[in-house]
A and B are shown apart, each in its own frame.
Chain A
Amino acid sequence: MKIVLEHLTKRFPNRNKKIKEDVVAVNDFNFEIPDGKLIGLLGPSGCGKSTALNLICGLEQPTEGKIFFGDTDVTKLPPENRGVGLVFQNYALYPHLTVRENIRFPLENLRGKDKLSKEVMEEKVLEAAKLVQIQELLDRRPSEMSGGQQQRVAIARALVKRPQVLLLDEPLSNLDARLRLQTREELKRIQLETGITTVFVTHDQEEAMSISDTIVVMKSGVLQQMGEPQEIYDEPVNLFVAKFLGTPQINVFEGKIKDGNVFIGNSPVMSAENYNNSEKEVYVAVRPEGFIVDENGPLSCGFINREVMGRDTSVIATNSAFIGENIRAIIPSEEEIHPVNNTVKFSLKPFKVRIFDKVTEERILL
């Protein structure tokens, strides 16, 4: 089932009563989520991800705009009639019920012609439990399980009615690092196995990159960019997206475009043939893997330290044009660095350098 959002907007009266202005949690969303795909909704905390999710599932009513599931307008439909499964950040498992009872709960709500017999219910519960591999835990209470296991139960409960849309609100953020890795692979597997259109909310860019078919990046309620993970990483539309994706973060320098060259400080680092006449203040952003240690390189930096990771090496350096703490460059471990007078020189890989307008912070294509 594809999901279409049309001019979707949600305003809240400000929680701080002194501020009259509304909070625009979701601002004019227009996009389509293709059938059977896993979408990562990515953005910093408080940017409106949960609100967007709640609008899709019907727990919140939009101020403006429409939501379609397939060709059906579901904007006015209450959540229970939308056929969605929702997984909460804290799982929201009923603590007084066993795992089996929790998973069965949505099935027991079916009335009239949809009413299921006990046997069919049990069958469906087992099927869902199998999908998330918790068959042995069916008689436990939520409090007797680990976070990862609870998360699986929550997913099983959301899936047991075979919803057309599965929504997950930061489902992994309460798990420890190792479990998070494992569970997100599991999630991807389940999604592929069921083919259910899935929206996955997270503030962790790595998580979003690793499992999403498509990422939607948002900031303060406004959609910034939508695209495949690699595309968003390689071709960010603005400085915010460039900085939000990738660890270590992209390195941002003050710079300018002048005489057909891109300058960091006063050093020309690469050519910009299309910009011959006008001088323009810009931000020059370089991915950590975009640096090449080069004795004759144009970018001269103060050497601070190197961190050996094994697979590769981080070079920590400074430059007066750099914005932030320190430059982090990642170079292959076999490459050697010989700082002269505590200075290390780099040349840059042009396809790892992105230029942004100083005022609008929008991408400038060279």
Chain B
Amino acid sequence: MKKNLTAWLCLLPAIAFLGVFMVYPLIDVLVYSFEEGYNFASQSFWETGFYNYSYVLHDPYFIQALKNTFIIVIITVPLSTGIALLISLELSSVKVLRDFFQTVYFLPYVTNTLAVGLVFMILFKKTAYSDGLVSLLIQLFGGPSVDFIDGPYWAKMFVMCFYTIWIVMPFKILILTSALASVNPMYYKAAQIDATPKWRIFYKITLPMISPMVFYLVITGFIGAFKAYSDEVALFGTDLNAAGMNTIVGYVYDMLYGNSGGYPSYASAAALLLFAIVFTITTINLMVSKKTVYYQ
């Protein structure tokens, strides 16, 4: 009994901290999301029900944000993981200047997001003085002038995905190169003696052996991409709804603090919808991983 007491005492700070900053807000959000017509000033509401959810789900801005988020997730997670894997494989096979290349690939990770955003602006933004480097390049090859920041939806989405992939790549390369380096070379020797074709070595040996890391990157990649917001602001500014580039988290933020803000109930409902989505996707991921990921 006394031992238990000590244990609880030791746990107390952690529990208190988690309680105040995690559990209580979570419950609060849940409660908010079901309180219809909540009024900040009077702290009152009309009744409880699903109206907030219904409102959010019928709000064209939310639908737009949902669509944007899904496009970003579906494009950037597989692409960034795949490209990072290719680069890591390439990196682990070069001998000369390996450290140099590793540093180069890691630089974006220690660079400020906004600085990267600025570089992207120079590359892609059309101003009164310049069409943006990429647009100029397209024109050089006889293409039309494209405004990637203020132009058509596909162009903006292209820059958005490009930017997201660029930002997450260094971390993935770092993880994957160390995962590849940790595979015991004797497996490759054994495979070589057995005349294993290159693609089969990759598919049958390398990939299973680094699968826990790949899986980790996919799961955190999904979660990160679903929570995307700051990257959008870095490229398109704070009025994402107007740019048509809002994300779910952006929508939640706007509902709370934006120009049209002050609706904690709608924000809570949207946040919980996001939670449901992330939860479902992660569960599916875990189920798939049970079959495909090998843990030593």
- Given A94-B205, A95-B296 in contact, is the A88-B194 Cβ separation under 8 Å? no
* Min CB–CB distance A294 → chain B (angstroms): 55
Q: How many Å lie between the Cα of A88 and that of B296 in the bound state?
A: 20
Verify if A84 is at the interface (C-beta below 8 Å from B). Answer: yes
Give the contacts of B215-244 with A (CB-CB under 8 A). Answer: none
Given contacts A80-B193, A111-B197, 9 further A-B contacts (CB under 8 A): A59-B189, A81-B195, A88-B189, A92-B189, A94-B190, A95-B294, A106-B195, A109-B200, A157-B194
Residue in B186, B204, B294 whose beta carbon sits within 8 Å of that of A92 in the complex? B186
Interface string of B167-208 (1 = CB under 8 A from A): 000000000000000001011011111111100100011001
Q: Please give me the residue from chain A that is nearest to B205 by CB atom.
A: A94
User: Total interface residues on B, using CB and 8 Å?
Assistant: 19
- Given A90-B186, A92-B187, A95-B296 in contact, is the A106-B194 Cβ separation under 8 Å? yes
Verify if B209 is at the interface (C-beta below 8 Å from A). Answer: yes
Q: Please give me the residue from chain A that is nearest to B201 by CB atom.
A: A109
Q: Please give me the residue from chain B that is nearest to A167 by CB atom.
A: B193
List of A residues within 8 angstroms of B190 by Cβ: 86, 88, 92, 94
Residue in B187, B194, B294, B296 whose beta carbon sits within 8 Å of that of A80 in the complex? B194
* Min CB–CB distance B204 → chain A (angstroms): 8
Size bracket, chain A contacts: 20 to 34
Contact A109 B197 (CB under 8 A): yes
Q: How many Å lie between the Cα of A251 and that of B237 in the bound state?
A: 87
- Max chain A C-beta neighbours (<10 A), residue from B189, B193, B204: B193
List of A residues within 8 angstroms of B191 by Cβ: 105
Verify if A96 is at the interface (C-beta below 8 Å from B). Answer: yes
Contact B186 A80 (CB under 8 A): no
Contact A84 B187 (CB under 8 A): no
Verify if A85 is at the interface (C-beta below 8 Å from B). Answer: yes
Contact A59 B192 (CB under 8 A): yes
Contact A59 B187 (CB under 8 A): no
Contact A86 B193 (CB under 8 A): yes
Give the contacts of A130-171 with B (CB-CB under 8 A). Answer: 143, 157, 161
Contact B208 A80 (CB under 8 A): no
Q: How many Å lie between the Cα of A94 and that of B189 in the bound state?
A: 12
Verify if A297 is at the interface (C-beta below 8 Å from B). Answer: no
List of B residues within 8 angstroms of A33 by Cβ: none
Contact A79 B192 (CB under 8 A): yes
Q: How many Å lie between the Cα of A106 and that of B191 in the bound state?
A: 8
Contact B196 A109 (CB under 8 A): yes
Q: Please give me the residue from chain A that is nearest to B194 by CB atom.
A: A106
List of B residues within 8 angstroms of A108 by Cβ: 200
Residue in B192, B195, B209 whose beta carbon sits within 8 Å of that of A96 in the complex? B209
- Given A80-B195, A105-B194 in contact, is the A96-B189 Cβ separation under 8 Å? no
